[in-house]
Amino acid sequence: MKPAATPDLGSPAPCLGVFDSGLGGLTVLAALRRRLPRARLLYAADSAYAPYGERDAAYVIERSRVLTRFLLAEGAQLLVVACNTATALAIAELRREWPGVPFVGIEPAIKPALAARGQADGPVGVLATPATLGSDRFRTLLARHGADSPVLLQPCPGLAEAIETRGPQDPATLDLLRDLCAPLKAAGCTRVVLGCTHYPLLAEAILRVFGEPAPQLLDPADAVAAQAARLAGELPGCAAAAPLRAWSNGDAQLLRRVAAACGIAIDTVLPLPEASPVSA
Ligand code: DGL
């Protein structure tokens, strides 16, 4: 789809709902905005229920169903699960429950990280939540693309939570990041997969931690946006009342600041309503 120069709010445009456990999905939202400048984007940040990455599947499925239901009620025609953990643990359930709705998920970029690996390259490091790395979906991904390759898996407990509660620039967040990256740096990783949508918010800090030679960081946000744009091209479109709306049950100011750092201007952050649990 050829992007228009300026948003045209009058004519039909696709409406995409995007959700994450909190701020991380803003990194995907920014890629979607670049790919689909005319689309109506609805973003739900579930910060009050973050982190997902240290919870069990039942919890993540329940929260994902609540957010999906909310975004569909707001008019979303396609759902982007902008969270590796929710994709790993919940997207299959969402697809089962809403068979008519297109869902696009995100998963760690193991395949591209290994595809162009040369003789001189070090191991591939993967930073992700404990829940993502422990999931069947991730095990299958790794077995398919990285069974005989040197891949170092680094679970990052506490990192998404630190970003949510303290912000990506906070010294304590950066101290934790340094500790978590240390094994990958010591092993000489030349590529690092950012397997949680919160971690691209720390991209510069990760490069500072590694120093020279700088590893290549792999963030699949643009590939996800490209896939969503392909599917959105098949939607009938809706009248785009506003180009971008966000809801959060966490710190709205921090969300606006982080969005601005990702290149997205969010003026209004509405309170994400508390929904009664969705029963199976
Ligand atoms: N941003 C999410 C991910 O991509 C989850 C972070 C969390 O809530 O633990 O995995």
As a whole number, mean pLDDT of residues 83-92 equals 98
Question: Has residue 10 been placed in a domain?
Answer: no
Residue 253 covered by a domain: yes
Q: Note whether residue 277 is domain-resident.
A: no
On average, the pLDDT of the chain sits at 92
Q: Are 94 and 127 in the same domain?
A: no
52 C-alpha to center of ligand 1: Å? Answer: 6
Which atom from ligand 1 is nearest to the alpha carbon of 106? 4
* Residue where a domain terminates, one of 198, 218, 238: 218
Per-residue pLDDT band for 280 (boundaries 50, 70, 90) equals: very low
Is 214 in the same domain as 240? no
Q: Answer yes or no: do 253 and 212 share one domain.
A: no
29's tokens: 């939202």
- Has residue 278 got a pLDDT over 60? no
Mean pLDDT of 75-101: 98
Is 262 catalytic? The answer is: no
Same domain, 73 and 119: no
Report the C-alpha gap between 252 and 88 in whole angstroms: 27
Region of poorest pLDDT, from 14-23, 132-141, 180-189, 259-268: 259-268
Mean pLDDT on 74-83: 97
d(CA 210, CA 190): 10
Report the distance separating Cα 89 and Cα 45, nearest Å.
Answer: 18
22 Cα–ligand 1 center, Å: 8
Residues 137 and 196 in one domain: yes
Q: CA-CA distance, 57 to 135, in Å (whole number)?
A: 9
Residue 87 Cβ < 6 Å to ligand 1: no
Check pLDDT > 90 for residue 237. no
In a domain, 280, yes or no: no
Among 176, 197, 219, residue to substitute to test ligand 1 (most atoms within 8 Å of Cβ): 197
Q: Is 197 in the pocket of ligand 1 (CB under 6 A)?
A: yes
Residues 120 and 209 in one domain: yes
pLDDT band at 239 (very low <50, low <70, confident <90, very high): low
Give me the pLDDT at residue 38, please. Answer: 86
d(CA 162, CA 157): 10
* Claim to verify: residue 24 and residue 163 sit in the same structural domain: no
Q: Which of 15, 189, 196, 262 is catalytic?
A: 196
> Tell me: the pLDDT tens digits for 40-55?
999 999 999 999 999 9
3-state SS string for the chain: CCCCCCCCCCCEECEEEEEECCCCCHHHHHHHHHHCCCCEEEEEECHHHCCCCCCCHHHHHHHHHHHHHHHHHCCCCEEEECCHHHHHHHHHHHHHHCCCCCEECCCCCHHHHHHCCCCCCCCEEEEECHHHHCCHHHHHHHHHHHCCCCEEEEECCCHHHHHHHHCCCCHHHHHHHHHHHHHHHHCCCCEEEECCCCHHHHHHHHHHHHCCCCCEEECCHHHHHHHHHHHHCCCCCEECCCCEEEEECCCHHHHHHHHHHCCCCCCCEEECCCCCCCCC
* Same domain (yes/no): 121, 196: yes
Give the atom of ligand 1 at the shortest distance from the alpha carbon of 197: 4
pLDDT surpasses 90 at 83: yes
d(CA 206, CA 278): 38
Boundaries of domain holding 175: 110-218
| pLDDT for the residue 191 | 96
Indicate if 196 belongs to the active site.
yes
Answer yes or no: is 74 within a domain: yes
Answer yes or no: is the C-beta of 200 below 6 A from any ligand 1 atom. Answer: no
Give domain status of residue 278, yes or no. no
Determine the pLDDT at residue 3: 47
CATH number at residue 76: 3.40.50.1860
Ligand 1 proximity of 30 Cβ (cutoff 6 Å): no
| Alpha carbon of 261 to ligand 1 centroid (Å) | 19
Report yes or no: 83 and 17 within 8 Å, Cβ to Cβ: no
Which amino acid is present at 40? Answer: R
Distance from the alpha carbon of residue 205 to the mean position of ligand 1, in angstroms: 18
pLDDT above 80: residue 5: no
Looking at the structure of the chain, the number of domains it has is 2
The answer to whether residue 3 is domain-embedded is: no
By alpha-carbon position, which residue is closest to atom 2 of ligand 1? 83
Question: Tens of pLDDT along 159-197?
Answer: 999 999 999 999 999 999 999 999 999 999 999 999 999
pLDDT of residue 11: 64
pLDDT at 4 over 50: no
Give the residue whose CA is nearest to atom 9 of ligand 1.
53
9: in domain? no
The mean pLDDT value for 82-103 works out to 98
Backbone angles phi, psi at 180, to 5 degrees: -70, -30
Instruction: Report how far ligand 1's centroid is from the alpha carbon of 229 (Å).
Output: 23
